[in-house]
């Protein structure tokens, strides 16, 4: 189903040997090392410590980072290929991978100082440590300009105060990129991004969220009380934080679109296999037209989602404007993921409602792709703005 040739905007896009090798490596890793225990980790909401360590060893946590900083030096297309394959099996692991690659490593490499790259990026890219991206707050989700976390300028350092919510890798990260308001009068132009390390005085990790899906991932609230952050830990010029966050999220949406694609494809593949094994009314349920129509529509929508994801990745690699393409990919792929996983449960019937058959987990995991890194409604706003540029 995953074609190695894509027609994008009049361009014939053939996957390179390296990209094909990435797909095979990610698929093998997912099936041999992520699949065993995936249901148990979901049930217990257990962070996949050993699996994340292996992702680092295999190069999945710093795929796009330059080899100069310990990364794989790969393109975005390779990254989304790996994200899809890993998400077909374990979306909790893929969101950890997505945040570290798309939001933390990419943001640091693109906008960080050389000192910041040497100190933090080299360890993040190899998986020695993992990172977290801290934007959302109790009253600042989709409205990212309403930052209540403050970073008061104290001369040689900032004094950080506030609370962040829904932070992926919140308890397991060692490096945190924190978006905070320095100058309220300047509104979004008075926002900065600061690098905070675990263990700093005044920094506390709140309770782990008991989530519907991606349960093995580590989602926490974070509290900052008079945390002293040195000026050299600010990314970019004073007031660059909002632009940093938006630029980083634009790329992050491609990763989440690839995650949604993988969740949908994983559910589809299990439903297709089940339909050829399950018997009803004297024949395989696949031989019933009602099931054939469901699977045909699933296959078509998933392939369409894949084209959108690959297009956005390709545009990013070519340094073209990918904002609209990323928003379209995330919007469509996440909608397909929610719909396709529900259909996969329906095809499984009663068996789809129990955890042993995996598809109910895919359905629970799919929902978050319509919410984080920009809700579906926000994606529509982004797309609409781009239409009239």
Catalytic residues: 373
The angle at the Cα of 372, spanning 174 to 147, to the nearest 5 degrees, equals 70
CB-CB neighbours of 96 under 10 Å = 29
d(CA 305, CA 231): 42
Report the SS3 class of residue 116: helix
- Kind plus residue range of the DSSP H or E element containing 251: helix 241-275
Identify which of 89, 198, 206, 201 has the alpha carbon closest to the alpha carbon of residue 137. Answer: 206
Query: Nearest-CA neighbor of 360 among 167, 215, 209, 169?
Result: 215
Residue 220 main-chain phi, psi, to 5 deg: -135, 160
Beta strand 175-181 pairing with 131-134: parallel
The position carrying tokens 């630029």 is 247
- Give 3-state DSSP helix, strand, coil % of the chain, rounded to 5: 55, 15, 25
Structural element, H or E, at residue 165: strand 157-168
């Amino acid at each position: 189903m995953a074609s190695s040739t894509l027609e994008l905007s009049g361009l014939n896009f053939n996957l390179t040997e390296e990209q094909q090798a990435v797909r095979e490596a990610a698929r093998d890793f997912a099936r041999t090392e992520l699949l065993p225990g995936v249901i148990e980790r979901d049930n217990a909401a257990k962070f996949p410590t050993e699996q994340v360590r292996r992702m680092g060893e295999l190069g999945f946590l710093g795929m796009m980072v330059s080899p100069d900083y310990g990364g794989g030096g790969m393109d975005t297309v390779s990254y989304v290929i790996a994200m899809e394959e890993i998400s077909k099996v374990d979306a909790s692991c893929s969101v950890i991978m997505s945040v570290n690659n798309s939001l933390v490593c990419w943001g640091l490499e693109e906008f960080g100082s050389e000192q910041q790259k040497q100190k933090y990026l080299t360890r993040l890219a190899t998986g020695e440590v993992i990172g977290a991206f801290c934007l959302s707050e109790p009253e600042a989700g989709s409205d990212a300009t309403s930052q209540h976390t403050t970073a008061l300028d104290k001369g040689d350092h900032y004094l950080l105060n506030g609370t962040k919510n829904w932070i992926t890798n919140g308890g397991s990260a060692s490096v945190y990129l924190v978006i905070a308001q320095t100058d309220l009068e300047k509104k979004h132009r008075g926002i900065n991004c600061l690098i905070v390390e675990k263990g700093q005085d005044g920094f506390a990790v709140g309770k782990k969220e008991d989530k519907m899906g991606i349960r093995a991932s580590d989602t926490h609230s974070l509290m900052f009380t008079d945390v002293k952050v040195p000026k050299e830990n600010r990314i970019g010029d004073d007031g660059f934080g909002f632009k940093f966050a938006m630029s980083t999220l634009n790329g992050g949406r491609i990763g989440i679109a690839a995650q949604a694609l993988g969740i949908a494809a994983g559910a589809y593949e299990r439903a297709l296999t089940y339909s050829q094994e399950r018997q009803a009314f004297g024949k395989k349920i696949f031989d019933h037209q009602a099931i054939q129509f469901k699977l045909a529509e699933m296959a078509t929508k998933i392939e369409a989602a894949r084209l959108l994801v690959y297009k956005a990745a390709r545009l990013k690699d070519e340094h073209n404007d990918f904002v609209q393409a990323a928003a379209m990919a995330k919007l469509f792929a996440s909608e397909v993921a929610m719909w396709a996983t529900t259909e996969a449960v329906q095809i499984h019937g009663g068996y789809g409602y129990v955890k042993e058959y995996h598809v109910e987990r895919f359905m629970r995991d799919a929902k978050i792709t319509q919410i984080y890194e920009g809700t579906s409604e926000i994606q529509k706003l982004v797309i609409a703005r781009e239409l009239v540029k």
